[in-house]
């Protein structure tokens, strides 16, 4: 009897501890999630009810050219950022891990610092550096293009340059993960390799790379998910232009909901993006787990 009593009392205490999370989660996360799906089957404006239209919004997506463009641009942006930032971060991490003491700390902070900046600070800095008339980087652009270019107003330059800005901003995070991964590799392995007369390249390809692969896979998948959600930098630097050449899915959600007042349709686009990201996350989770168990 006392045991049951005790257990019930404990459950009650547990309940008081989890309630704050459960309530905030249900109200501000779970409910909006279910509402998003429900709304995507209606023709509701942003505020105020609408009527049920079944799959209409989803069918409309197929004929919406801007949706196709957004999807393509999202894929393009992923291609421009995910592998490049992973490669650059690995290279920087390898370079940093050679250093030691204060020198290592300082160099690491220099590479990491941009990551702590607010996105609008980042975009303002780069808008200034790439200013058509006075931008300090325009000589570099001229070197490539032959003349100064208003990069964020140019359909060819806009996505690669947003990618450059994004990599500069977020790369420090990846560098940190790689440094942690490198630190986890036992030093004895390098000593053994050195005794066997391995070259620097052999040490990298036989020891570092295979042992670092789980971290590399983690960085790649985290980046893939992160870059699919691109909105801030695009909105602030190019607003999706010129000629929709940097229009992406989350921008589509924003414009449909908050500027065209199509709550239902915006929810359908959001639901597609939502499903896309969840599917990738689940696949990634399974992949990482398989590797860990293997």
Partner 1 sequence: MSPMKRIENTVLTVLTLLAALVWIFPLYWTFVTSIRSDENVAGNTSILPDEFQLKAYLDAIFNTKLTVWYVNSIGTAVIVTVLVVLISMLCAYALSQIRFPGRRLLYGIVLGSFMVPAQTLVVTQFVLMNDLNLINSWAGIILPQLIAPVVIIVYKQFFDSVPKEMREAVVLDGGGEYTILFKVFLPLNWGITTAMSIVTFIGVWNAFFWPFLVVTSEDMMTIPVGITQVNDAFGVAYARLMAVAMLAALPVIVTYIIFQRRVTEAIMISSGVKG
Contact at 8 Å (CB) between 230 and 163?
no
Q: 9 Cβ partners below 8 Å, 6+ apart?
A: none
Give 24 or 205: the residue with its C-beta nearer to partner 1.
24
| Residue 169: Cβ within 10 Å count | 22
For partner 1, the binding residue among 58, 66, 84, 117 (CB under 8 A) is 117
**Segment contacting partner 1 by CB under 8 A, of 61-69, 147-155, 190-198, 264-272:** 264-272
Contact at 8 Å (CB) between 240 and 20?
no
Tokens 């501890």 sit on residue: 17
Contact at 8 Å (CB) between 148 and 261?
no
Residues that bind partner 1 (rule: CB under 8 A) add up to a total of 88
For partner 1, the binding residue among 6, 52, 55, 128 (CB under 8 A) is 128
Closest C-alpha to 274, from 22, 24, 29, 25: 29
For partner 1, the binding residue among 156, 194, 258, 289 (CB under 8 A) is 258
Q: Virtual CA dihedral for 104, 170, 224, 151, nearest 10 degrees?
A: -130
Please tell me whether residue 126 binds partner 1 under the rule CB under 8 A.
yes
Q: Cβ of residue 80: shortest distance to partner 1, in angstroms?
A: 19
**Segment contacting partner 1 by CB under 8 A, of 68-76, 123-131, 145-153, 155-163:** 123-131
Please tell me whether residue 177 binds partner 1 under the rule CB under 8 A.
yes
Sign for the pseudo-dihedral over CA of 21, 23, 24, 25 = positive
**Segment contacting partner 1 by CB under 8 A, of 62-70, 126-134, 143-151, 185-193:** 126-134
Please tell me whether residue 209 binds partner 1 under the rule CB under 8 A.
no
- Interaction with partner 1 in 25-84: which residues (CB under 8 A)? 25, 27-29, 31-33, 35-36, 39, 46-47
For partner 1, the binding residue among 2, 3, 11, 293 (CB under 8 A) is 11
First to last CA, the chain: 46
Please tell me whether residue 198 binds partner 1 under the rule CB under 8 A.
no
């Amino acid at each position: 009897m006392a045991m049951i009593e005790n257990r019930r009392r404990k459950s009650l205490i547990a309940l008081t501890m989890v309630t704050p999370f459960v309530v905030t989660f249900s109200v501000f996360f779970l409910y909006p999630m279910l509402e998003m799906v429900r709304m995507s089957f209606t023709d509701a404006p942003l505020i105020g009810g609408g009527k049920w239209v079944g799959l209409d919004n989803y069918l409309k997506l197929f004929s919406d050219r801007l949706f196709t463009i957004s999807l393509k641009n999202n894929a393009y942006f992923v291609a421009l950022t995910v592998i490049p930032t992973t490669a650059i971060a690995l290279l920087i991490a390898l370079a940093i891990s050679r250093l030691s003491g204060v020198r290592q700390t300082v160099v690491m902070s220099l590479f990491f610092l941009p990551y702590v900046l607010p996105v609008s600070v980042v975009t303002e800095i780069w808008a200034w550096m790439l200013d058509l008339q006075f931008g300090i980087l325009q000589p570099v652009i001229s070197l490539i293009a032959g003349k100064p270019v208003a990069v964020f107003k140019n359909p060819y330059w806009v996505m690669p340059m947003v990618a450059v800005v994004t990599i500069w901003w977020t790369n420090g995070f990846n560098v940190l993960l790689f440094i942690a991964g490198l630190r986890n590799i036992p030093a004895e392995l390098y000593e053994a390799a050195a005794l066997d007369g391995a070259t620097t390249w052999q040490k990298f390809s036989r020891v570092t790379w295979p042992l670092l692969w789980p971290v590399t896979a983690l960085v790649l998948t985290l980046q893939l998910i992160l870059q699919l959600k691109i909105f801030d930098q695009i909105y602030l630097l190019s607003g999706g232009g010129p000629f929709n050449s940097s229009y992406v899915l989350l921008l589509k959600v924003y414009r449909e909901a908050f500027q065209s007042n199509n709550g239902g349709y915006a929810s359908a686009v959001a639901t597609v993006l939502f499903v896309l990201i969840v599917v990738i996350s689940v696949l990634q989770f399974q992949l990482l787990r398989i590797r860990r168990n293997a």
